[in-house]
Structure 1
């Protein structure tokens, strides 16, 4: 029986159908301009950019220019790349321009689609950011699409890891910038660690298009970007804590695999209290006394390390280091470390050298970073399953764009076996059958471990692992040779080439994950990538042209053979916890109307099946008489699995949403601090700010030691005098003043304020106004940064324990907001006191002309969770630490008099004659 919803959609169409239909008139208008645009000369077509900008300057809106601008880009793409945007690609460009997500199937040309909206939104000159998942794709897309932008008079920049600040600043100044999500986020954080406005590299956040938007804004958004540096070594504590875990029995903890959580039971807590007390580590009577918060935290992390994290699945031990394995891609992530002591707990568990913990200098979630953009858009092949999250978190609507050619892929129901061994035996047999008919096969696994397991089974079955540098030649019958390729490349360039040739007849490719590869699997192979690889060094000329023609002819022959064999056969070795990942794997087959096939093989021992009630199903299958090697196939099983996946997706959404709720509290404070820093760096002088701080400190001091409406004999004059000495560096007769008849707190505050101002004025006379203005700004920014780091650490600690307030029937989030606000107030109060104290004590100190090298700590930029997609960030350059050491201003009048040093500007040559700028020599901050 047809449901009412299905019947209504047949009559009226779905909401998505109606949305797509609404774009058709504009598509028709663009098509109507095609012949006119084709008739333009190159110069006339290029001149349209200046014309559009003039129209914007005269008051027209971007929407008024959409039709002619899209027609211009389409013609420029045809002339530069030989590619013409399809009508459905024009619709995708319109969705991006409106700030939505264009869901387009694999092979529909998303990279080309982006050029339409990029060009239109680059016309105002504020910069457009195109976000990719790895450096290789950023470079590749920028190089290819810059031909279109350059032809139309726009500049293109690319941000990849390893660039200097000058190179980054130049790239961000371009009209169009291609960059990875991590580079953008870390550049934002690093910009807010700079001490001069001119050192910042980003120029704003006007418009961004996020490629593989589900990977970046969903998968990678579970944990924040963090810039951190090492703190004191506490390896003994981790080693000591780890010794207690082997004594823990299953009765001592509760393990929830669905929620990926583990916690001690009451029995376990009591046992650990006794063990810790015996070891002299327990303070007080209870483990949960406030003095033991740090011990409890490290115990919990050690328990997670032992009971939740598995070696060779979640991490591996290589060269004496614990290396994280990405859950999605199965790749090793060298340089990545778990936060909050978890990585140290794993190192203690594996008995390897424990690296020091890191202190957070700056952090931000992808949610809050990308929500800074005035307009945000995205594109991917799989977004519909997360549509609610995109709308809820980012205000992005998902629009499914129709394919240019109807999808011809056949998606079989899942085959379910009782055991993993039976499942893999069936997979090997299916691969063998596909090989006999020369059908290319792509096998998707969920981890490196499972890829290697399948590779071992194929080897035992007579297959041989080989690479595809030498492609198959169907005429010689080598397509039936039992060879396969395992995709575990370390470099994206090599990875992209292997993927591009996975459509060759008879090719068998085992890949850990297919999300965000950025390269299509074309039947017969990718001609352009083969030409680049085989003829890259050959100069242009008749010989190269002939060689290219031969390769293209070979590709065409191989494509015909692959089509005859049924197209690409996609085999899934198990269901992933997210439907999107399964859909991404399936979507690799059936590109641009090609035939294809997909099938998932499951067993009751798979993680998803095991966690979601396979025990009952196993008993039922045995009663039904299912024999070894036989499978059960039924649409009901697919529906049951989809419901299980929906539960996991909902849980992951809750995790991300919860993270965001807490980060929003910090984000409000982050914005205040970062905006204040920029304001301070931009101002010529912070003299007024420093004076107000000094006066506030005096007022707070008087209020603390002289109670309101109290008699003079009730004043704590000794305490006030000590505070004046400590914070104002002044030895004043406060106690004598208090004995004067009729003196009040107002007069006391006025005397102290005047004394502080006079002492500061005398310091200005000695240093010179220009030099003191520089010192004020440097001290203010450095102190603000130091206190902000301490504040971040305090918030992290608060976040880890605030959940216990729930036991007292209080909302942890509301409690966190209240406590965080109190901590922020304390930060501002401490800032006033610290800045005032430092400036009242600062002196010109003598030192050698050549300063001793700074103790440059390696500052790490990392995204510290296994669910981080294609994160390729390595240890950040030590240059991130420039200006990070807090301390006093130091200058030495050795080769010139003090007046010369006082007159020297920050960028002037140093008067000592070293040849360096003043700020890098005697004006350096150490």
Structure 2
């Protein structure tokens, strides 16, 4: 109540923020006449002047010596000081290069982005242009700026569209694309401004931490990023960890075997209302069934009778013969594939492959794969060829990747409903930017029906009415199946229309661009991140480009520009006339055929209408058979409607029902937030470990000879210190210490040049013995450097260190995957799985680091310099690699068991192709698998030369 009263007196927090930012906008506007008066050369010269000013102030403030938050504050204060003038320069450069002038509200959006916040701006308000302001300002520091988009097309388009502004002002602009040649990619990253997708930025970060030489790295330190469609990337995609993986040797036959027994299992699908009823009535939902499938929570539970039946059908003694419970796990995944994953909703089958459909954008995602055996289970269900599973080689969540940047900002049309999550996870404040022109869209109340059939009939009638008066209609569906159902209904009554869904996404830009034409009817499966404005009367620019493409005129030529101007002038005049007819008909009418589980997805669809003050309208149609209503207890509402005497076919517009729908959406949003938060809690454990490993890797790659030697000496001291207590225990007299054992251990670890003299060491305590022995080992290393030559020894030392770290880290990631899969069972012992995971992961990490140090010091002292030096290869170089996403979906995929992957042909950037397999013949006596490898590596035979035997 107090907050409500204060907001009425002094305004909401958002309104107060806007008033403060408006003062900065006034400063920028005052400078506009001054910038207009400058010649082109004078305007361009501003960039050099800004850079010198920033460099001088950074040097004076001690920027190079500072670290952490003080370092960020120094740069932030410097850039804040020149912001008004820099923004005024960009606005004028935009007018002179691409003919667009930033509105005042766009300047406000630019300030929010510069300050590291999220600007919520309505569709059509020019977010792409807004980004040029903070991008230019922050690029002046020379540390690199990343502009993150949702797909390669938008990255390329935005670079081409906004590039002339930056290039006019003397800044370099690059774009990174999937499967881009290494030389082009490194050139793009070295530009002042780099456009690209969230996936490519993230995967390049992982690849950079797998290379064996600094020249193979592409990214600079991560300074500043602006994320377009920030809610799509940082909220929806936050459930998709980025993973680079390699193949395992597991057989795929088990998936076919398990798939054959699924039809023989008696399965029960339950909803939330079933659980509530069973709880009050004391019923057992699993009685008489082999498996219970919870559709809302996306889980499957095998009953005792179900496990017995599976054991009988599979011919195994127990599903849990092995500790991992592999049989039970894959049976559960197979049941999910049959009962919870719907063809043409969650995936499509195309060219003999299962291709995932993105639930938020409706696009196909070729190459991505659910992992954890889920994708293989779906392939078996569809009787397709099954691909092998993969082992993790490197991984990071998008949440933790974007938190690496010194400064992060984002923009979207729909962020306010997720403001709490942005604040908690990313420390980003959401500011709602007002529209340039007042919004004149009419949002009608939801029309609610008892059945889906009645709902779709009403939708068709609404479309017929709009079509008759020439009003364009955009119809949003949440699945391919429903878009095609509606399409067939329109075909029957003869209404021409376009269908935009995952099956036809190649044409999406053209279809969306013309969705505002007279009598246009467009059916779209989700509208998130389409990146194309709907202009009333049609988009003359898009039509012009299509005509020239059909005429096969080469772009960027004089002939192209000349023809473009002629065609565009004619089409613009025609589009303006059509625009007036569409405005008279009421503007674009948006129809939602179903409420999405997240309110912002509905807002994205609704926001397509009413662009830049245009008239428009929107209405959502809902039935009690829709997923959202069905999964959240619509039976109670149907009972209320029956008591009210609501007949079939009757439309209901009731505030109580609307509130129930919004309440269901909030519950799902909260549920999905908890999933993302839970994922982050688990990944934070891995993130701390990743930071340690990657920082040590960077030190080895980029550190000089002195730093490398210090690192080795630190490892030697730690290795000796951990082993001294075994031979010189505290509390025993020196004459009782195991001097012979210590001597043997030192010779085995560091070579015969080390000798233990008990008479010298007896007067020392264990800590003193450690210091003395460490000094002796260092002397041996110094002698080896003199004999061999430090210049020859150093590269081999680096390679050994990298090889050991990468080998152990790869094994550790595999162990962490196994730990995560089984940790949930700890809950049965009344223990918190997260705390157990943290403890186990910590112990595993400490053990891994100790093994790394032991192996490194042993191998560097054993290594020999060959006269004919072979090419040095890394652990990851010889493995074929894939890039994956592990998906944690909403209602359609809400558990941590669903994962996604995407193939990346060709392996890591800048590294060699896999070596061909060869037959190995062993001469002499047979070597046991656990014996030391005869090659002298110091590893067990099964982990070295015998790995492929």
Of 724-733 and 739-748, the range deviating more from structure 2? 739-748
Question: Mapping of 1:405-554 within 5 angstroms?
Answer: 405-459=437-491, 461-463=492-494, 482-488=495-501, 494-535=507-548, 537=553, 539=559, 544-554=564-574
- C-alpha distance in 2, partners of 1:187/1:602? 43
Q: Is the 8 A contact 1:328 1:447 kept in 2?
A: no
How big is each residue's C-alpha offset from its partner over 1:35-58, in whole Å with a ceiling of 9 and x where there is no partner? 222111111111111222233234
Structure 1: gaps (5+ residues) = 464-481, 888-926
Partner of 1:15: 13
Q: Deviations over 1:403-429 (max 9, x none)?
A: 111111111111112222221122222
Q: SS of the residue aligned with 2:323?
A: helix
CA distance in 1, matches of 2:547, 2:533: 19
Q: Following the alignment from structure 2 to structure 1, what is the Cα–Cα distance between the partners of residues 762 and 789?
A: 39
Task: Please name the residue that 2:301 is paired with.
Answer: 263
* Structure 2 residue 602 is matched with structure 1 residue 589: no
Q: Which residue is 1:877 aligned to?
A: 906
Question: 1:249 aligned to 2:266?
Answer: yes
Aligned to 2:688: 668
Query: After the TM superposition, which of the residue ranges 785-794 and 306-315 deviates more from structure 2?
Result: 306-315
Match of 1:890 in 2: none
TM-score normalised by length of structure 2: 0.83
Structure 1 residues 280 and 766: CA distance shift in structure 2, 3 A: farther
User: Do residues 614 (structure 1) and 634 (structure 2) align?
Assistant: yes
TM score, norm. by length of structure 1: 0.85
Deviation at 1:4, TM superposition (A): 8.4
- Counterpart Cα distance in 2 of 1:567 and 1:202: 46
Deviates more, 1:578-587 or 1:703-712: 703-712
Deviation at 1:13, TM superposition (A): 2.6
Give the conservation status (yes or no) of the 8 Å contact 1:569–1:596: yes
Evaluate the alpha carbon distance shift between residue 771 and residue 622 of structure 1 in structure 2; reply closer, same or farther with a 3 A threshold: same
How far did 1:837 drift?
Answer: 3.8
- 3-state SS of paired residue (1:19): helix
CA distance 1:827–1:542, shift in 2 (3 Å): closer
Q: Deviations over 1:746-787 (max 9, x none)?
A: 799899979977987787677543222211110111210111
Kindly indicate whether residue 230 of structure 2 is the aligned counterpart of residue 209 of structure 1. no
- The Cα of 1:254 is off from its aligned counterpart by 4.0
Contact 1:135 1:179 in 2 (8 A): yes
1-structure distance, mates of 2:841, 2:871: 44
How far has the Cα of 1:265 moved from its partner?
4.3
Q: Distance in 2 between matches of 1:45 and 1:881?
A: 40
| Structure 2 unaligned residues grouped into runs of 5+ | 58-76, 268-285, 894-899, 917-949
Aligned to 1:486, what secondary structure does the other structure show? strand
Task: Note if contact 1:195-1:883 (Cα within 8 Å) is conserved in structure 2.
Answer: no
Structure 2 residue 715 is matched with structure 1 residue 693: yes
Measured in 2, the distance between the counterparts of 1:148 and 1:692 equals 51
3-state SS of 1:626 partner: coil
**Residue aligning to 2:654:** 634
Q: Match for 1:43 among 18, 24, 41?
A: 41
1:617 partner SS = helix
1:299 Cα offset (Å): 4.2
2:662 is the alignment partner of 1:649: no
Paired position in structure 2 for 1:778 = 799
1:329 aligns with 2:342: no
CA-CA distance at 1:571 after TM superposition: 0.9
* Cα 1:208/1:716, change in 2 over 3 Å: same
Matched, 1:392 2:424: yes
Q: Shift of the alpha carbon at 1:15?
A: 2.0
Cα deviation 1:789-843 (Å, max 9, x = unaligned):
2111212222222233333333322222221111111111111222234334434
Structure 1 residue 628, shift from structure 2 partner: 3.3
Distance in 2 of aligned mates of 1:533 and 1:146: 22
1:122-201 pair list within 5 angstroms? 122-201=139-218
Alignment CA distance shift 1:751-1:412 (3 Å) = closer
1:53 aligned residue: 51
Q: Is the 8 A contact 1:129 1:179 kept in 2?
A: yes
Looking at structure 1, the residues matched to 765 and 254 of structure 2 have their Cα atoms a distance apart, in angstroms, of 50
8 Å CA contact retained: 1:418, 1:618:
yes
Counterparts of 2:260 and 2:505, CA distance in 1: 41
- Secondary structure of the residue aligned to 1:878 is coil
CA RMSD in angstroms, aligned pairs only: 3.6
Deviations 1:571-603 (A, max 9, x none): 111111010100000000010111111111121
The answer to whether the aligner puts 1:92 opposite 2:83 as a matched pair is: no
How far apart are residue 371 of structure 1 and its match? 1.1
Residue 96 of structure 1 contacts residue 377 of structure 1 at CA under 8 Å; is this kept in 2? Answer: yes
Relative to structure 1, the CA distance from residue 330 to residue 150 in structure 2 (aligned partners, 3 Å threshold; closer, same or farther) is: same
State the Cα distance separating 1:203 from its structure 2 match: 1.1
Between 845-854 and 720-729, the greater mean CA deviation after superposition: 845-854
Give the C-alpha shift of residue 880 in structure 1: 3.9
Preserved CA contact (<8 Å) 1:103 1:384 = yes
Contact 1:443 1:573 in 2 (8 A): yes
Q: Distance in 2 between matches of 1:275 and 1:12?
A: 71
Aligned residues: 857
Out of 350, 362, 381, the residue aligned to residue 382 of structure 2 is 350
CA apart distance, 1:543 = 5.7
- CA-CA distance at 1:684 after TM superposition: 2.9
Structure 1 residue 865 and structure 2 residue 865: aligned?
no
How far the C-alpha of 1:30 sits from its partner, in A, is 1.7
- CA change 1:657–1:886 in 2 (3 A) is farther
Question: Is contact 2:121–2:411 with CA below 8 Å preserved after alignment?
Answer: yes
Equivalent position to 1:219, from 236, 244, 249 = 236
Q: Is the contact made by 2:792 and 2:865 (CA closer than 8 Å) also made in structure 1?
A: no
User: Which segment is superposed worse, 829-838 or 654-663?
Assistant: 829-838
**Inter-partner Cα distance in structure 1 for 2:504 and 2:885:** 19
1:834 paired to 2:847? no
Q: Out of 8-17 and 430-439, give the one that drifted further.
A: 8-17
Partner residue of 1:812? 833
Worse-matched range after superposition: 517-526 or 323-332? 323-332
Q: 1:709 to 1:425 in 2, by over 3 A?
A: same
